[in-house]
Structure 1
Amino acid sequence: MTDRYASFVRSGAGRTLVKRLGLPDPPRLRRHTPGDPIVPGPVLLGAATGGRLAERAGKILAAAGVELPDPGAGESTERFAALVYDATGITDSTGLRQLYDFFHPRARSVLPSGRVVVLGTPPDECGSPREATAQRALEGLTRSIGKEFGRGVTAQLVHVTKDPDAGTWTSLEATLRFLLSGRSAYVSGQVVRVGAGTAVAPADWDRPLDGQVVLVTGAARGIGAALARVLARDGARVVALDIPAAGDELAAVANEIGGSAVQLDLTAPDAPQRLAEHLAERHGRVDVVVHNAGITRDKTLGRMDADRWDSVLDVNLSSQERINDVLLERELIPAGGRIVSVSSIAGIAGNRGQTNYATSKAGVIGLVESLAPALRERQISVNAVAPGFIETRLTARIPLVIREAGRRMNSMSQGGLPVDVAETIGWLAWPASGAVSGNVVRVCGQSLLGA
């Protein structure tokens, strides 16, 4: 779907009108192309006094081929593709001044579509209330930077456990590679937690899913089709699943990526067993399960019939629970496996006329939060993504005024693309991301809706 406003804004007449009237100015976002470097320029790495992560982050970035200028740089005219700051040394509110001292002189030095990443300590792991208070304050900083810097610049906070293991460092590398790259173009204002756990670095970071068997539900179109393409590009053997009515589109996607197609209605009573048998017979396992299948049946709650409620909850939430139960019971998801579910910002903020949908998507968040600790001993991670306004067939049907509001009410002043959701899920699916679990990552351009 074409964003005609964004196209007009990029014209000569459009640029003039935007500046004169102060209209939303959608930037061109830097998205990933295979073979791209992680960042298109130098990355400035700074740290608060006593920070525990700067040295490790520097080694990760240097090994990835990132140029790291002297930390004293940046107060002149030098431009940076990213600013990375280790704030773990801030142990009380007075120490927050160090954030100002680092970011204030460099606020205009970040290139368009640049990146800001702040490294912190999970507040619940802090040694004192004062330290926890200071570390919690970092969220306000990063979310504000994401709204202030503009020009497609994103800002994230990464909480890294105080009790790291080898998996922590591998997953920190995976997280930095994702957040600094074009893969995270429509992700901003997020808090990502990197804990301890099993994580395996790939032999080739351009194919981080090489050899992995990945199931994608709802793969025939939209976000699901983009998912199948991105995961296959990254080396996965994709099992693409959708309902029989979407069989032709599903087959086209599977043939395009060299994957396999499974036609199955996930709400059928025997669907989990049939799916488990297929995966066991054809592949012997499934390394990554991506629960993408979902439907909408919109009505205000007072006008909604029971069938609309039941069908949405069954497809969007209950089917995920049933499939997880069977695959886990039969041990088809091995140690090092991944479960990634698609939620929505509607599950965070709610949405008028979508009580059934919002309930189901909030339930997906609850599923992730409850499963993550339960699956830790089995070395299986579980995370969710929560898309905002994404340009798909569904959003193309939204009335014009509401559609334009959805596009502009975020820090990017534009809708996201299905590939933005797919890239985020791809990162969570990487074997290198095993110590990232229990997260809900919004892919919404830092929407003004919700938290």
Structure 2
Amino acid sequence: MSRIALVTGATQGLGLALVAGLAARMTPDDTVYLTGRDPGRVRDAVAALPAGRAHVRGELLDVADPEAPETLAARLVERHGAVDVVVGNAVMRVGPDDDPREIVGDYSEINNFGTTRLLRAFAPRLPDGGRLLVVASSLGTLHHLAPVLHERFDRATTLDEVDAQVAAWRDAVADGSARAGDWPGFVNIPSKIGQVAAVRALAASRRHEDGRRGVLLAAVCPEMINTPTSGLWWDVSGAPSPDEAAVAVLDLALGPVDPAHYGELVRHGRVLPWRP
């Protein structure tokens, strides 16, 4: 049977590499959707891809739009019957010169609420053997958060509860009160923790049924990647390229399911502990 895959934030970097990798590994009967929010960039990205085995199609998807993920999920299921592999990779990048108070609204809207919208839209529609992966980071564990803040995310048992904690953090950054509190100054840390917490919360409610049906829901850390944005923060001269970093994510998306990965943050096939 043909399979359908979808990658968000796929017009450049890791997202584009994931689309190319899926197209290379899947069959000519399969379809990979390259999605992004700019029609020109989606069109150009599809045109620039090397020929793969699977068919690549472009679709508009702005995860910051509250209705867009649900609308696209319904349309693709109507078109194909199911979406077998979903990789959430949409991200707003920030640089060292960006003022967190000014960017945190858009940043959380894409990275965090965009993630939970994707989970709400596609998880209930996953077929047997389906995969839903959220690209996160090794920063997305409680090791990187002050202990006094752990329970905010550790006790969140629904996506609504995770969203509420992310909104509280966003508002504290925006009004400046986060600076006087225990929140880390680097906005990437709470954001990534919120992404992983969302996966964990949803997985807790679906674990038994997904296990029976061979469904994998997980967060994935592709490690540091050599990109211009990463280079603004760190020396990434020895880091893998997007194509190289995509390999471990593709293995998780298309390889055999390891039950130990379910609901966890996985890096190169190993689970990163959530708690210190």
Q: Paired residues, what number?
A: 220
Q: How does 1:275-294 map to 2 (within 5 A)?
A: 275-294=72-91
CA distance in 2 between counterparts of 1:299 and 1:265 reads 25
Matched, 1:389 2:224: yes
Partner amino acid, structure 2, of 1:241: T
Determine the structure 1 residue equivalent to 2:15.
224
| Aligned twin of 1:21 | none
Which aligned pairs between 1:41-56 and structure 2 lie closer than 5 A? none
Task: Specify the SS of the correspondent of 1:355.
Answer: coil
Q: 1:442 aligns with which of 245, 267, 270?
A: 267
What is the 5 A alignment of 1:175-254?
Answer: 211-235=2-26, 236-244=30-38, 246-253=41-48
- Shift in Å at residue 434 of structure 1? 5.4
The alpha-carbon distance between structure 1 residues 387 and 274, as it changes in their structure 2 partners (threshold 3 A), is same
The CA distance in 2 between the partners of 1:211 and 1:346, in whole Å, is 36
* Cα contact 1:346–1:361 (8 A) shared by 2: yes
1:311 aligns with 2:102: no
**How many Å separate the matches in 2 of 1:262 and 1:308?**
26
Q: Which amino acid aligns with 1:223?
A: L
Amino acid of the structure 1 residue aligned with 2:200: E
Tell me, yes or no, if the aligned pair for 1:291 and 1:340 is still in contact at 8 Å.
yes
Which whole-Å CA distance do the structure 2 matches of 1:350 and 1:298 have between them? 20
Question: 1:271 and 1:280 mapped to 2: Cα distance?
Answer: 14
**What runs of 5+ residues in structure 1 fail to find an aligned partner?**
1-209, 408-413, 444-450
Letter in 2 for 1:242: G
Could you say which structure has the greater relative contact order, defined with CA pairs below 8 angstroms and 6 or more residues apart?
2
| Paired residue secondary structure (1:387) | coil
Q: Which residue of 2 aligns with 1:335?
A: 128
CA distance in 2, matches of 1:229, 1:359: 30
Rounded to whole Å, the distance in 2 between the matches of 1:276 and 1:261 is 14
The answer to whether the 8 Å contact 1:383/1:437 transfers is yes
Letter in 2 for 1:423: V
- Cα 1:220–1:370 change in 2 (3 A) is same
- Contact 2:222 2:248 survives alignment (8 Å): no
Aligned partners of 2:32 and 2:56 also within 8 Å = yes
Q: Out of 53, 60, 63, which is 1:263 matched to?
A: 60
Q: State the SS of the aligned residue for 1:424.
A: helix
1:240 is displaced (CA, Å) by: 1.0
Residue 299 (structure 1) shift: 5.7
One-letter identity of the residue aligned with 1:304: P
Query: Residues of 2 paired with 1:324 and 1:220: CA distance?
Result: 21
Normalising by structure 1, we get a TM-score of 0.44
Alignment partners' CA distance in 1, 2:3 and 2:48 = 18
SS at match of 1:346: coil
Kindly report which structure 2 residues correspond to 1:34-433, keeping only aligned pairs within 5 A, or say none. Answer: 211-235=2-26, 236-244=30-38, 246-253=41-48, 256-257=51-52, 258-298=55-95, 303-305=99-101, 307-328=102-123, 331-348=124-141, 355-376=186-207, 377-378=209-210, 379=213, 380-396=215-231, 398=232, 403-404=234-235, 406-407=236-237, 414-430=238-254, 432-433=256-257
The 3 A distance-change label for structure 1 pair 395 and 431 is closer
1:221–1:249 contact (8 Å) kept in structure 2: no
Give the whole-Å Cα distance in 1 for the aligned partners of 2:245 and 2:218. 13
SS in 1 for 2:105: helix
CA contact (8 A) 1:215 1:290 kept: yes
Q: Residue 171 of structure 1 corresponds to which residue in structure 2?
A: none
What letter is aligned with 1:363?
A: G
Q: Is the CA contact (8 Å cut-off) linking 1:266 and 1:315 kept in structure 2?
A: yes
> Structure 1 or 2: larger helix share?
2
Is residue 200–residue 263 contact of structure 2 (8 Å, CA) maintained in 1?
yes
Secondary structure (helix, strand or coil) at the match of 2:140 reads helix
**TM-score of the two chains, using structure 2 as the length reference:** 0.69
